[in-house]
Amino acid sequence: MTKAYVALEDGRTIEARSRAPGRTRGELVFTTAYTGYEESLTDPSYEEQILTFSYPLIGNYGVREERFESDRVHPRGVVARDLTEDVAEWLTAEGVPAVDELDTRDLVTGIREEGAMRCGIAAGPDTTAADAEAELGACKGMSEHTDIGSRVSIDEPTTYNPDGDGPRVALIDCGAKGSIASSLVERDAIVEKLPYDATVADVESVDPDLLFVSNGPGDPENFQAAAALVEEYVGDVPLAGICLGQQVIANALGGETEKMEFGHRGVNQPVRDLRSNQVVMTTQNHGYTVSEPGDLDVTQINVNDDTPEGLESDELEVITRQYHPEANPGPHDTLGFFDDVLGMTTTRTD
C-alpha cells in the first residue's frame, strides 16, 4: 500500500492510502450525498476545497461523462473511506490527489463539531507526514478573498438553444452547473451564458427578459461584478438566483451574508415553504448563507437551522433559492422553480 497523509487544522495528521498521487491543500468540507459522486466532483462550487464523502463507498456505478456538471473535477483533493479503481483512475488522470482507507466518520464528526477546517494532503510514493503538514502550513496563509470566479466561469459568451421560442435569459456564470442551463432550455428558453465579470454593456447586447445569477464557489463578496448587474437591472428586468446567486442578489439589495460553521452539502436538506407549510427535500452545496434579506422577503427556510432557503419580492420581480432546484444529484421536488422564474418574463414573439 502506498501511504498518504492528511494534516488537519485541529493539529491531527492522519495516515491513509494514496489513490491518486500529489500534494494539495484547501478547506476540508463534507457531503452526505450517497449517489451522484460524478456530479459532485464536477460541481464548480467545490473549487478550492477538499471534498470528503461521508458515504463509505464511492464509485460503485463507474464514471460516466454524461453525468458531469462541467468539463473537469473542481475539488483540489478527495477523501473517502473506499474509492473504487474507476474513480481513482479518473482522479489520477485529472491530477487531483485522492486518499482513502481512513475513518471518514471521524472527519465528518470533527467538521460538524469544530467547523470546516483547512487541511493539507500528501499522497504517493515517498511522501511523509511532514509533506502534508507543509501543505497545511501553506494553506493557512491563503486568502479567502480571491478572484475565484476566473477559475470557474466561461471566458466568452455562449448561447444555448438559439432557436428557442421562450424568454431570453442572461445567465451570469459564477460557476454554473450544466444542469441549470439544461433546465432552462428544456422549457424552451434561449440561454445566453455570460462570464462572471460581465458588464452592463455585455448584458445590454443580450437584451434579456430575465437576469439569472448562477451558483458558484466561495464568498459572495468575491462576485462584485454580478452584484453590480443586480443593482443596475432590479426593477427593470426580473431577477433569479440559485445558491451563490441568492447570496449575491441579497447583498446587492441591502442584505448581508455570512460564513456558516460547516455549510450545507448533500441531497437530503429539508426546506419548508412559509406560505404553504410544505416541506421538500433539496440538494445543497454552500458554505455561506444570507443573514439579512434586505429588500427581499424570506419565503422558505431550512428545517434544521432556520437559514433562508428562498427569497422573493413581487414588487421587484425577484425569486431566488439557496438550494439547487435542478438537483443533480438528488430529489426533483423543486423543479417548479424554473417555471416560476420564467413565468416572470414576457415571452418574445419577434
Which residues are identified as catalytic?
243, 324, 326
Distance CA 23, CA 119 (A): 11
287 is in an annotated binding site: yes
Q: What are the C-alpha distances in Å from 164 to residues 16, 56, 190, 342?
A: 51, 43, 6, 13
Paired strand residues for 26: 119
288 is in an annotated binding site: yes
Summarize the chain as % helix, strand, coil (round to 5). 25, 35, 40
H-state helical runs in the chain? 37-41, 85-94, 104-114, 129-140, 149-152, 178-185, 200-206, 224-233, 244-252, 336-343
Do 273 and 285 meet the contact criterion of CB atoms below 8 Å apart? no
Q: Which three cell numbers stand for residue 102?
A: 481512513
235 is in an annotated binding site: no
247 is in an annotated binding site: yes
Asked, as a colleague might, if the bond just before 329 is cis with ω within 30 of 0, I would say: yes
- Find, among 302, 292, 240, the residue nearest to 265 by Cα: 302
285 is in an annotated binding site: yes
Distance CA 146, CA 308 (A): 25
Question: Cβ atoms within 10 A of the Cβ of 181, count?
Answer: 22
- Find, among 161, 240, 169, 178, the residue nearest to 203 by Cα: 169
Distance CA 129, CA 7 (A): 7
Distance CA 132, CA 25 (A): 8
Number of H helices, E strands in the chain: 10, 19
Beta strand 82-83 pairing with 117-123 = unpaired
Cell 481513482 sits on residue: 88
Residues at the binding site for L-glutamine are 45, 216, 218, 244, 247, 285, 287-288
